[in-house]
Amino acid sequence: MAFLHQRTNSATQAFDVTESDDVVYSPPLRGIYVGGAGNLDVVLVGDPDGNVSHFDNIAVGVIHPLQVKKVMASTTATLIVGVR
Q: What is the pLDDT of residues 24-76, one digit of tens each?
A: 999 999 999 999 999 999 999 999 999 999 999 999 999 999 999 999 999 99
Determine the pLDDT at residue 35: 98
Give how many domains the chain has, as a whole number. Answer: 1
Query: Is there a domain that residue 40 lies in?
Result: yes
Cβ-based neighbour number of residue 44 at 10 Å: 15
Query: Is there a domain that residue 60 lies in?
Result: yes
Query: Is there a domain that residue 6 lies in?
Result: no
Query: Is there a domain that residue 7 lies in?
Result: no
Query: Is there a domain that residue 59 lies in?
Result: yes
The pTM is what? 0.87
The pairing of beta strand 68-71 with beta strand 78-83: unpaired
| Domain extent at residue 29 | 14-83
Question: Closest Cα partner for 39 from 57, 22, 27?
Answer: 57
Determine the pLDDT at residue 1: 43
Question: Closest Cα partner for 54 from 71, 39, 35?
Answer: 39
